[in-house]
Amino acid sequence: MRIITIYFNYISVRIFFFLFFSLIPIGCYFFRAPQIEFGNIIVINPFYKAVSQLPIWLYMVNYLTIILAINVILLYLLTTYYILNKRGTKRIHTKYNDLLVGYLFDYLYDETSIDQEKRKKLTRIKKCLRSDIAKRIFLNRLRRVHLQMEGEIRERNFNLLKALQYTSFLRAYLQSPYLRHKLFALRIISDFHLQGYEGYIYKLTKKKNRILSSEALVTLIKLYIFDDHLFLVDFTQILSVWDINMIINKVQQLNKSFNYAKLIRSEVPEISVVGIILSRLDKRFNLKMEVKKKIESHNKLVSEQAFLAYITFAKEQDDFDYMIYRFEAASENTKLQIIKAIPSFKNKRDKTKFLNWIVENKPLKFKIEAIKMLLDIDFDFYSSRYKSSTDLLIKNTISHVQSINF
């Protein structure tokens, strides 16, 4: 019944404005015609004699002036209604917020074990929750208590939520045409980890509204409703960089690892990126070869993130050789990370040779990083090779590095 009411309010407002603006051209025609026939019904225009004597341009000016005046009056009435409604909502919010907070803490901190007394307090709370505004106020208050409290109080708070039979209310809000309703329901479901709404939420992830789809996706991840979050493997919706960052941040906050390998293998580039980044942040060195395969990807984002993860995992001489082999094909950011990773390998001669090649052949920003690495890896080579160099660019690079170090 609630969802019908929500949609009725939503549609009725739009029908009103549609009819109002439709009547503008209809009225323009009607007032210029002597009569209009609807089947057997004939509507006589009482203003015909007056307007028929006017030139068409003067008629249009007068008609549009009347329409403008009606619009001003309508706008004034709507503005007044909005202000009065907002004031009424604020009064209700203040009244119920204070009242319900008192009832809530009276219920939560009640030390009596008498069931009848608890039922009375629950009934008292339910009587205050007859409007959607009051329900939203109270559910939001319960949500805050749930996030701030621990132990028995938190359990009582959750049991109170279940006793209020919130299911139909949240489902109606998830299906509501209003964005604010959907976001409110998602927030409650997410913070309470409520089950049974995954079908509704999954549909919301496919919405064109990026705010809504992102919030729905993050809610699914937070709920743990799918084993190891593997629902992402079959997720076909294109993720933005914002979505990817939100997913990664949320998983890190949850502090729970899962099957990254299946995400990395996903054919959806964005999902593969999520798996690659998370495996890097979680230091899953056992996935080095899975990540290495993705370096060859035609998708630039996948390839770059895979290379960055591989650099983090690289420890063996074969890893060093592969990074040098792929250096020219890497992005600028990846090239810088390769240079910075060089000191972690053992073969001093190969490292010095590679860094020397960078200094002599690559642009300034790469030269700077290479010189920095050489100072730590092979200072003797650095001193003999570059301190007396006549190459102006190399001299400028050394001067820049020295100014940073000193």
In this prediction the pTM is: 0.66
pLDDT of residue 186: 93
pLDDT in tens, the chain (406 residues): 677 877 777 787 778 777 777 777 777 777 777 777 676 777 777 777 777 777 777 777 777 887 788 878 888 888 888 888 778 777 777 766 767 777 777 777 776 656 677 778 778 877 777 788 888 888 888 888 888 888 888 888 888 888 888 888 888 899 888 899 999 999 999 888 888 888 888 888 888 888 888 888 888 887 765 555 556 766 766 777 888 888 888 777 776 667 788 888 888 888 889 889 989 988 888 999 999 999 988 999 999 999 999 999 988 888 888 988 888 888 899 999 998 888 888 878 888 888 888 888 888 888 888 878 877 776 666 666 666 565 666 666 666 665 555 4
Residues 6+ apart with CB under 8 A from 401: 368, 371, 372, 375
Amino acid letter at 249?
N
Closest-CA residue to 247 (of 227, 212, 271, 264)? 271
DSSP 177: S
Whether 302 and 269 have beta carbons less than 8 Å apart is answered as yes
Tokens of 60: 């249009």
pLDDT of residue 406: 47
Around Cβ 233, how many Cβ atoms within 10 Å?
18
- Whole-angstrom distance, CA of residue 369 vs CA of residue 360: 13
